[in-house]
A = this chain, B = another copy of it.
Amino acid sequence: MNLVFNKTELMDYLNEVFPQVRDDFSVDALGPGEVTMRLLVQDRHLRPGGTVSGPSMFALADVAVYALVLAHLGREALAVTTNASFDFMRKPENGRDLLGQARLLKLGRSLAVGDVLLFSEGKLEPVARSTMTYSIPPKRG
């Protein structure tokens, strides 16, 4: 699996196609088949009690694997989320960013699959795991 974007190019590209992502996510690390994406936790990501909400964890997992797929496919690519699964295992810690460590398990012609572990920054045990599948439409001629 060869990267076609470096970390800065990936972040630039995400900001370009998803301008609303700019304030919420940043790429901590990027390597072949692997990315660490950060959710810059703000009030709008929280649920009552002050922990990160389910929809915000969904967004982090989806952005992490989507960015990882694009970092290997480049600008012309499209990818549409077709399947997602989640196990919520521990409560996120209040007042900490959430990190998504994603790895690419398959990058085929029509399907890509990646999984993610989500951690509250500085903690060793994952708060959640997720698998995401993307359909990659054929390029138009």
Q: Which residues of A contact B (CB under 8 A)?
A: 17-20, 47-48, 53-56, 58-59, 62, 80-90, 105-106, 108, 110-111, 113, 115, 117, 125-126, 129, 131, 133, 135
Among B18, B86, B113, which residue has its beta carbon within 8 angstroms of that of A48? B18
The oligomer's copy count stands at 4
CA A20 to CA B43, docked complex, whole Å: 12
Q: Are A115 and B115 in contact (CB under 8 A)?
A: yes
Q: Are B48 and A84 in contact (CB under 8 A)?
A: no
Q: Are B85 and A86 in contact (CB under 8 A)?
A: yes
- Cβ–Cβ < 8 Å partners of A19 in chain B: 48
- Cβ–Cβ < 8 Å partners of A106 in chain B: 87, 89-90, 125
